Amino acid sequence: MTGMWTLFKKEILRFWKVSFQTVAAPVITALLYLLIFSHVLASHVQVYEGVTYTAFLIPGLMMMSLLQNAFANSSSSLIQSKVMGNIVFLLLTPLSYRQFFLAFLLAAIIRGLVVGASVWLVALFFVDLPVAQPLLILTFAVLGGGLLGTLGIIAGIWAEKFDQMAAFQNFIIMPLSFLSGVFYSIHSLPPFWQKVSHLNPFFYMIDGFRHGFFGQGDIAPEISLTVVGVSFLALSWITLRLLKSGYKLRG
């Protein structure tokens, strides 16, 4: 396992060396969302009984930041290695494809957790956030980071240049993030769009995560956990198959 841990530490140091860009910048972005939306809507919207809109908003922003940064960590590392040509130095090592996957996956989860926790710490200056079920919060945070980290590996394997990766992030990750209930409850939507929202896996990650704070949400946490868990296992299987075959990694 020495090789796997070495690759894992390399991936951790890769984002930590530029933490102002990889950690501080997403936190500032989330803080701007919080300040703007809470200022505009706090006095007009109450989603759950006894929960202010500002408090409702924070878990969504935490999870959105966590997911986007978990994806960015694994995807950016792979596409940079492919474009610069140094991916060959990883492929020549005696690492198995499972160790390769695990190192990238764990690093993506760690970055997502660091960013999500940083958003939470900054948000505490604005509102006290209850914690109803801490284990549920941690479970959804790890599974969500793992799911997007895995999706990032798939994107990194598929993309051959930076504009393809940008298209993947701009046309898939960002829309799914913003249409997942971060800024609203889906019960405020018309029936048709409520049904559409249930097709978005990001909705289950964010609603389950938010349920851990308030003990209430738009859907039962057991359903959300099942959807997220099955999605993570399915994407992990696909990723392992791609890595084993060397798809777009070995010439």
Which is nearest to 216 in space by CA: 232, 80, 224, 125? 224
Instruction: Using the predicted structure, report yes or no on whether residue 65 has a pLDDT greater than 80.
Output: yes
Mean pLDDT of 50-73: 92
- Banded pLDDT at 42 (limits 50, 70, 90): low
Higher pLDDT, 187 or 45: 187
- Total residues belonging to the chain: 251
The model's pTM: 0.94
Given this model, what pLDDT does residue 189 score?
83
Instruction: Using the predicted structure, report yes or no on whether residue 220 has a pLDDT greater than 80.
Output: yes
What is the per-residue pLDDT across 118-143, written as a single tens digit (0 to 9) for each? 999 999 888 888 999 999 999 999 99
What is the per-residue pLDDT across 90-103, written as a single tens digit (0 to 9) for each? 888 889 999 999 99
Mean pLDDT over the full length of the chain: 91
